[in-house]
Amino acid sequence: MAGSSFGTIFKVTTWGESHGSAIGAVVDGVPAGLDLDRSDIQPFLDRRRPGRNRFATQRQEADQVEILSGTFEGRTTGTPVSLLVRNTDQRSHDYSQIASCYRPGHADYTFDRKYGFRDYRGGGRSSGRETIGRTAAGAIASKILSSMGVEIHAFVSSVGPVAMTKAARELGPEDFRLASLSALAMPDPEAEKQAAAFLDECIRSGDSAGGTVTCIAANLPAGLGEPVFDKLDALLGHALFSIGAVKAVEIGSGVSAASMTGSEHNDTWRMSEDGKAERAGNCAGGVLGGISDGSLLQIRVSFKPTPSISKPQQTLFSDGHIGEIRIAGRHDPFIPARAAVVVESMTAITLLDLMMQNMTSRMDSLLRFYGQS
Amino acid sequence: MAGSSFGTIFKVTTWGESHGSAIGAVVDGVPAGLDLDRSDIQPFLDRRRPGRNRFATQRQEADQVEILSGTFEGRTTGTPVSLLVRNTDQRSHDYSQIASCYRPGHADYTFDRKYGFRDYRGGGRSSGRETIGRTAAGAIASKILSSMGVEIHAFVSSVGPVAMTKAARELGPEDFRLASLSALAMPDPEAEKQAAAFLDECIRSGDSAGGTVTCIAANLPAGLGEPVFDKLDALLGHALFSIGAVKAVEIGSGVSAASMTGSEHNDTWRMSEDGKAERAGNCAGGVLGGISDGSLLQIRVSFKPTPSISKPQQTLFSDGHIGEIRIAGRHDPFIPARAAVVVESMTAITLLDLMMQNMTSRMDSLLRFYGQS
Amino acid sequence: MAGSSFGTIFKVTTWGESHGSAIGAVVDGVPAGLDLDRSDIQPFLDRRRPGRNRFATQRQEADQVEILSGTFEGRTTGTPVSLLVRNTDQRSHDYSQIASCYRPGHADYTFDRKYGFRDYRGGGRSSGRETIGRTAAGAIASKILSSMGVEIHAFVSSVGPVAMTKAARELGPEDFRLASLSALAMPDPEAEKQAAAFLDECIRSGDSAGGTVTCIAANLPAGLGEPVFDKLDALLGHALFSIGAVKAVEIGSGVSAASMTGSEHNDTWRMSEDGKAERAGNCAGGVLGGISDGSLLQIRVSFKPTPSISKPQQTLFSDGHIGEIRIAGRHDPFIPARAAVVVESMTAITLLDLMMQNMTSRMDSLLRFYGQS
Amino acid sequence: MAGSSFGTIFKVTTWGESHGSAIGAVVDGVPAGLDLDRSDIQPFLDRRRPGRNRFATQRQEADQVEILSGTFEGRTTGTPVSLLVRNTDQRSHDYSQIASCYRPGHADYTFDRKYGFRDYRGGGRSSGRETIGRTAAGAIASKILSSMGVEIHAFVSSVGPVAMTKAARELGPEDFRLASLSALAMPDPEAEKQAAAFLDECIRSGDSAGGTVTCIAANLPAGLGEPVFDKLDALLGHALFSIGAVKAVEIGSGVSAASMTGSEHNDTWRMSEDGKAERAGNCAGGVLGGISDGSLLQIRVSFKPTPSISKPQQTLFSDGHIGEIRIAGRHDPFIPARAAVVVESMTAITLLDLMMQNMTSRMDSLLRFYGQS
C-alpha cells in the first residue's frame, strides 16, 4: 500500500533508504513562477546533515541536492520538482551484526513482520536518512511561505531533563539566530550549556537522551484548516507523527489543557495598547475549531531517546532466542537537534497545502479569480 | 475544499450541523457479508448521547440512527452504508445571544474569517454533535475489528487534577464494564468519586474542566501502518486531532519519552514464564517505526475544558468592540466522558483501514488471494 | 474498497440502491456564500425522472430532493451539503424472477462474483437510480459554473441509426430550449421524429436501442486540467465512463482522429472578422495537452442499448444451467434521453473541481490572494 | 495543483521534461518480495525508445533505467521504487524557432495560459518523453500481473485508413510475437505493409497520421472495479486519456454500441463444447456494471496524428500576430507504434491497483487473511 505521499494540492512523495544509492523526493503542485535553485534547498539539508559536531552521528555525508526537473531558467514551471541526494558513506559492514536480531526500540521486528524480510544493513526506510526527502521539500514550502510573510521556526526546547526557560511566544530574531548557531539547535545558551553536559554524560555511559522540539509559525493568516477531518491541527498531527521517534504532539496548551478549567484555558479578548483587538493568552496555540485564528501557531513535539545505544540490552534474535546485543556503529545520542529542521519542514508543507486549499473556500474568491467581480 | 472524508479503503464521510435538520455519515468500503443492523450502531451513539446525567448537556436528543443503504436482508452488500440521525431539540433561541460576538475558546471567530459568515445558532459544524457521524461509522468499524479479535476500549483516565491510579495495560474486562456504567466513563470508582466532586464544584462556580481519554487496542496484529507518511501513529494523530477540543495526542510513553534515556525507554525482550518472547515494557505503546508490533496499542488524548462557561468573560464582538459575555444554555461541563466513544471510534476507523491496506503488502498475499499458490 | 467518491476539492460521495429506502449524495467542498435551495436542484432531477413519457420506464417516483445540511438562511456555509431522495415505488415483486439468474448485459454476475451475493431485487447499486445522487450534485456544480459564465449543455445526438444533422458547435439557445422540451432530449425536431418512430418499433418488438449524448461547455476559461494524470480529458474520461452503460468517450474529433492526417487535424489559427485570434477548427474539442484552450469543449458519449429487453434470451442461472429468460417489468427502451442530464452533471462536477484546482497553479495567484501583491 | 500521481494502492508518481536532465517515476505500493532488477524494466522502455526505425523520431536516447531504491538483494522491500532515466540528446537549438509561437495541435498555448510561461525548448512536460516514467512503472505492474497469470498485449490496430483485419479476440501468441518485431507494432504483416506505404507517403508530403491501439487483457479474474466512481472502465478511461494525443477510448463494442439494439448487444450465455458456461459474444469487452466479468478485456484507443508536421501552417505568435510556421526537427510521423507500450503500461497499472483494492471487498477475505477462519 502506498504511504509515501503527503499533501493534497502541494504533494510530497519521498523515496530512498539509508543504504541504497540515493534518497529523494518529488514535490508536486509547486506553483509556477517561483525562483528556485539548489541554494534554496541546501541550507535546510545542512541543518540535518550528520557529522557536524559531537552530538551527531559521525557518518560522513555531504548530502548535496540535485534538482532534476520542474524548473526552467531558474524558475519553477508548475511541473513536479524532482530532488535527488546520493548516499556516499553507506559502510554497510558496520551493520552486519544486526542482521540476525531485532534491536530494541527499532523497526527491525515490525518491518520483518509486515514485509516478510528487511534490508538488514541499517534502518532502511525507517532510518533518519529518510527525512532528507521531506526536508528538501520543506525548503521549497518554506520559501513560498516566506514570500507570503509566514515565518516558521523550530528549535530544541528541552534535552532530557534540561528545558529552556523562555516561553516560545517571547522569542525573537536574535533567539532564532542563536538556535541556528547552536550544536543543539537551542535558542537559549545557558540551557544549551547544561544540556551539552547532560548529553556528554549520556554518551560516556553508552546511553542516549530524549527531548522536545518546539515549532512556531508567525504571521499565519486566519482561516487555514478544512473541517472536520483536515483541520489544521489534525494535519499537523499527521505530519509530525510521521517523523520517526515522535511520541507526542501538542498544540498550544497541549497536555496541560487536561488539568485546567475553562476560565483558565479560554483565551479571552482585550484591546491592545495600540487599539487592536487581541487575545490575552494563547492556550489555543493559534487554532480554534481546527482553523488558524491569526495568532502565533505553537506546537511541541516529544522525541524518544535514540534507540541505538552501546549499553548491553536483551533482545530477540530471528532464530527465536533471547540474547544480549551491544550496538556499535555511528549513532546520534540525541535526535531533536537534527530533527528540528524536519519538524519545521513538515509544518511548512502542511501549512502551504492548507493555504492553497483555503483559496477555494468562498464563492467571492472564485468569482474574483475568474473575473466575474 | 473537501475535508469531510477520512480513510483510504475504509472511508468515512460525515455531514451535518448542530442546528440543521439531521446529521449523518456515509461509510464506504464496508466489506460485503457483515451482519449489520441499527442495533449494532445505537449503543455507540447512546454512549455519546446528551442528557443522560448531570455531567452532560441537558439538550434532549434521542439520537436514533437509521440505515438508509448498503445492506440487504441484514447483511452489508459492499456498497456504501448511509447513516442518518435527525436533530430534534435544536432550540436555537438559546443561542441568539451569541450571534453578535465571538465566544472565547470557540470556533466562531475562525469560521467567520474563513467562510465570511457562520451559522450563528450554535457551533454548527464545530459542535460536538458533529461527532455523531463518526461515532456511528466507528461502531461499524469496531464490529468488524471485533470479529477479527481486535478489542478497543477508550475511557476517561483523568478529570482535571484527578487521575485514575491503575495503569492502562493492567485493565481487564471488569474495569471496562465499570467504565461503561460510569457517568464519567472512568474504570476506577474511587477516582470517579473524587472527579465527580471536582466537577460538581466546577459546575457550581460556572466553570468547566479538562481531562484525558486513554484508548487501548488489544490483539492487534503486527504489521499495521504504511511508512512513511501513513504510519500507524501518524494516522492516529490525524484521526484524534480531528476531534474537537483535543490539544495533545500521545502514543505509549508520550511526553514522558522526552525526559528519558535510551536504556530506560527501549522495550527490551525477555522470555515469558510460558516460553514466549515478549517485551519487558511498552514505552513504544505498540508501534515501532510506524508499524504495529503486536503489543497493546496505548494512546492518550488530552481534551481542553469546555469553552462554554457561565462565568463572565471579555470577548470580541462582531462590531469590533470588546465586551463581557456570560454563556447561558445547555453545555457539558466536561467533554471527555462523552468523547471517549468518539476516540474509540476514530481509533477503530483508523485501525480497520490499515488492516485492509496491509493485506496487499506482500507478493505472497497477492498470489495466495488470486489462487496462484 | 471505497469507490463512491469523486473529485479532489469539490468532492461528491454518493450512496443508495434502486430498492433501498433512499438515495443521496454528500457534496463536500461547496464554497461558502452560494444561494442554494432545493429549487436549484429539483429541475436537474426532473430531467432524469422516470415515467414522464413513453420512452422511459413507468416506475413512478417523484424524486423530491431534501437538503439536510450545509446551508443557513438560504446560503451555503462551506460545510458539506447532504442531499436525500426517498424511494417510493420499489415494487420489488417485479424483480423476483431474476433472483436466480444472471441477466445478459447486466451486472448481476459481476456483483455476485465480487461481493459473494447481491441485492437481487433489481440493479441495486448498478441501477440507473444510482445517478440521482450525482445529478443532484451536478446541479450544484452547474449553478456555481453558471455564476462564472460557464454554460454546459448535454443532449441526445443520435438514437440507434438516427443522428441529428446540425454540428454541435452550431447549436444555440433555441436548440437547447428545443432539447429541453423533447421527450428524447434532442435539439433537432426532425431527427427526433425519426428517432421516435425507430424507438416505437424497438418497443413493439421487445427490444431496446443505443445512442449517443453530446455535451458541450461554452465560455470555459483556458488553463483547466492538471498534467499529467489529472488532465481535463483524463478526468472527463473517468467521470463519464463511471456512468452505467457508457461504452465510449470521445473528445473533439474522437475516433475520427485516427484516420486523419496532421494537416487535417491540427486546428490552425486565423484572425476573425472582428480582429480576434481564433482557431479555424476544433478537432481538439477544447483541450490541448490536457488543458482547456478557451474554445468550446466538445464531448461525445456512446451508450449501449438498455440490457433489459422482453425478447427471450439465453442466460446463465445461479445453479449453473443455461436457460431462457424474458425480462418483464418497467424498463427504459433507451438510456440516453434520461442520461443526458447525468452526462451534463458529471461534466459540471469535473470542470468545477478543475477550476478550483487551477486557482493555485501560479505564484502570483497565491501572492495576490494572501495580500502580498 | 498536484496531478502527477495515479493509483490508490499501487501508486505511480512521474516527473521530468523532454529537455531537463532526467525523467523518472516513483512507484509506491509495490508488494514486498518481488524479484526485480533493471532487466525487467528495460525491455518496456526499449519498445518506446526513439530512433529505432524510420517511423520514429531520430532523437538518439539510450533511455537506460536506473533503480535507485526499493530493492534489496534483488527483491522489492515494500518501500517505494524510484526509477531514473537520464536525458542525453536534448539538442535544444532544434526548438528555438518555437519559442515565439504556439504550434497548432500542441500544448504551447495552454501551458502559457495556465502557468504564465513555458519551457520553450520543446514539449516540456507535454512531450512524449513524459511517458518514460509511466512505462517504467508499467513494466513493474506487468511483471506482477504476469506472475498472477494476467497477460496484457497492446498493439497498433490501424494506421490512418489502414486497419488490421483479424479481430482482437482471435489473436494468439504468434500474433503478439509478430507485433513485437514489427516497426509499427502491428500483429498483421499484410496490413503493416500497406500502413508503411501510407506512412512513407505522409512523411514525403511533410505530414503525419493518426491511428488506433488495441489493448487486451487475458485471464483477468472477475470482480475487479469499485463501483460507482472507480469502476474498471472509469479508471481505464482516466488512465488512457491521460496519455498525450488520445482522442477516444472505447471498451468492448465502443462507439458501435450506440447504433445497436439490445438483442444484438447483450452477450448471451451458452454452454461451450467442453461444458463450461461462456458468453456467446463480448460486446461488454470484459466489463459489466464497471466490474470485470472474467472475459477478455478489450480496449481501443484512438490517437490523433502527430501535430508536428513540416507542412506550412498558420498559427498564433506570442506577440499576437498570425503567421506561418514550418516545424523542422525530429518528430514521429505516427504516434501509436511507440505509444502501444504506454497503453499497455497504463492498463497494467490500473488493473494491478484494482486487483489489490479488490482483496478487501468481502468479510470472508478479511477473516481468512487475519487468521479467523
Instruction: Give the confidence band of D122 by pLDDT, cuts at 50, 70, 90.
Output: confident
Are B5 and A229 inside 8 Å of each other by CB? yes
B residues 224-283 lying closer than 8 A (beta carbon) to D: 227
More confident residue, C144 or C98: C144
- Using a CB-CB cut-off of 8 Å, the residues of chain B touching D229 are none
Judged by CB atoms closer than 8 Å, whether chains meet at C359 and A372 is answered as: no
Best B5, B6, B8, B13 member to test C by mutation, with max C CBs in 10 Å, is B13
Within 58-117 of A, beta carbons closer than 8 Å to D belong to 68-70, 72, 75, 77-82, 84, 114-117
What is the sign of the dihedral through the CA atoms of D240, D246, D247 and D249? negative
Q: What is the pLDDT of residue A368?
A: 96
Contacts of C33 in chain A (CB under 8 A): 362-364
pLDDT score recorded for residue C123: 80
For residue C83, the chain B residue with the least C-alpha distance is B15
Which one of D126, D240, D259 has the shortest CB-CB distance to C210?
A: D259
In terms of pLDDT, which residue wins out, D219 or C1?
D219
For residues A225 and C346, give the distance between their C-alpha atoms in angstroms, rounded to a whole number: 27
Is A222's Cβ below 8 Å from some Cβ in C?
no
Residue C92 has pLDDT above 60, yes or no: no
**What are the C-alpha distances in Å from A39 to residues A65, A155, A193, D129?**
9, 22, 32, 28
- Yes or no, beta carbons of D69 and A10 under 8 Å apart: no
A to B CB pairs, distance under 8 Å: 386
- How high does pLDDT run on average in chain A? 94
Domains and CATH numbers, chain A: 5-369 (3.60.150.10)
Stretch C309-318: mean pLDDT: 94
* C278 band by pLDDT with thresholds 50, 70 and 90: very high
**Is the Cβ–Cβ distance between A229 and B242 less than 8 Å?**
yes
Digit-coded pLDDT (tens) for A9-19? 999 999 999 98
Give the confidence band of D104 by pLDDT, cuts at 50, 70, 90.
Answer: very high
Q: Which residues of B touch A239 (CB under 8 A)?
A: 234
pLDDT on residue C330: 65
Nearest residue of chain B to residue D222 (CA atoms): B370
- Whether residue A26 lies within 8 A of chain C, CB to CB, comes out as no
pLDDT digits (tens, 9 = 90+) for B317-338: 989 999 999 987 667 899 999 9
Confidence grade of residue D56 (pLDDT, cut at 50, 70, 90): confident
Residues of chain A under the 70 pLDDT cut: 58, 90-96, 329-330, 373
Q: Please indicate whether, in this complex, the C-beta atoms of B15 and C115 are within 8 angstroms of each other.
A: no
pLDDT digits (tens, 9 = 90+) for A31-84: 999 999 999 999 999 998 877 778 877 677 889 999 999 999 999 999 999 999
- From A30, which residue of chain D is nearest by alpha-carbon distance? D1
Give the C-alpha separation, B247 to B249, whole Å.
7
Q: How far is D81 from chain A (nearest CA, A)?
A: 7
Q: CB D4 to CB A21 under 8 A?
A: no
Taking the Cβ of residue B9 and every Cβ of chain C, the question of whether any pair is shorter than 8 Å is answered with: yes
For B357, nearest residue in chain D (alpha carbons): D9
Contact A271 B237 (CB under 8 A): no
Contact between B349 and B132 under an 8 Å Cβ cutoff? The reply is no
Name which of A77, A113, A129, A357 to mutate to probe chain D: the one with the most chain D Cβ atoms within 10 A of its Cβ: A77
Chain C hits for A33, Cβ within 8 Å: 362-364
What residues of chain B score a pLDDT lower than 50? none
CA distance A103 to A311: 12
The tens digit of pLDDT for each residue in D136-156 reads: 999 999 999 999 999 999 999
Q: Are D249 and C240 a contacting pair at CB < 8 A?
A: no
pLDDT of residue A96: 67
Whether residue C151 is predicted with pLDDT greater than 60 in this model: the reply is yes
pLDDT of D223 over the 60 cut = yes
pLDDT level of residue C95 (50, 70, 90 thresholds): low
Chain D residue closest in CA terms to C321: D277
Mean pLDDT over D210-237 rounds to 98
For range C148-171, the mean pLDDT? 95
Minimum distance, in Å, between the CA of residue A108 and any CA atom of chain D: 13
| Residue of D63, D69, D72, D5 whose CA lies nearest to D35 | D72
pLDDT of residue B118: 87
Contacts of B110 in chain A (CB under 8 A): 222-223, 225, 288-289, 291-293
Q: What angle do CA A179, A180, A183 make, to 5 degrees?
A: 75
pLDDT on residue C96:
67
Q: Chain C residues with CB inside 8 Å of A366's CB? A: 31, 144, 148, 355-356, 359
Residues D78 and A110: their CA atoms lie apart, in Å, by 13
D101 has which bridge partners?
A: D317
For residue B157, give the chain A residue with the closest CA.
A258
Q: Which pLDDT score is estimated for D55? A: 82
Q: CB distance D258–C211 less than 8 Å?
A: yes
% residues pLDDT > 70 (chain D): 97
Kindly report the backbone phi and psi dihedral angles of residue A133, in degrees, each rounded to the nearest multiple of 5, phi listed first: -60, -45
What is the Cα–Cα distance from B12 to C2, expressed in whole angstroms? Answer: 9
- Of B349, B352, B304, B344, nearest to B154 (Cα)? B344
| Mean pLDDT within C160-181 | 92
Alpha-carbon distance B9 to nearest alpha carbon in chain D (angstroms): 8
Q: Which among C149, C153, C297 has a CA at the least distance from the CA of C225? A: C297
Question: Residue type for C81, please?
Answer: V
Rg (CA), chain B: 22
Asked if C361's CB is within 8 angstroms of A78's CB, the reply is yes
* CA Rg value for chain A: 22
CB-based contact (8 Å) between D370 and chain A?
A: no
**Residue B290 touches chain D, beta carbons under 8 Å:** no
Chains that touch D (3 or more CB pairs under 8 A): A, B, C
Chain D interface includes A22 (CB < 8 A): yes
Q: How many angstroms separate the CA atoms of C33 and C71, rounded?
A: 9
Read off the pLDDT of residues C180-201 as tens digits, 9 standing for 90 and up.
Answer: 999 999 999 999 999 999 999 9
- Cis status of the peptide bond prior to D301, with omega within 30 of 0: no
Return d(Cα A362, Cα B111) in angstroms, integer.
12
pLDDT at A268: 97
Burial of D251-268, coded b for 16+ CB within 10 Å and e otherwise, reads bbbbbbbbbbbbbbbbbb
Instruction: Give A-chain residues touching B322 at CB under 8 angstroms.
Output: 269-271, 277
Determine the pLDDT at residue D90: 65
**pLDDT (tens digit per residue) in D276-285:** 999 999 999 9
Chain D contacts of C358, Cβ < 8 Å? 1, 114
* Span between the terminal Cα atoms of chain A, in Å: 45
**Do the chains contact at A125 and D79, CB–CB below 8 Å?**
yes
Amino acid at residue number D147: S
- C137 against D168, higher pLDDT: C137
Give residue D105's pLDDT band: very low, low, confident or very high (50, 70, 90). Answer: very high
- Cβ neighbours of D80 in A, within 8 Å: 2, 4, 13-16
Going D23 to D26 to D30 to D32, the CA torsion angle's sign is positive
Closest to C13 (Cβ–Cβ): which among B16, B28, B68?
Answer: B28
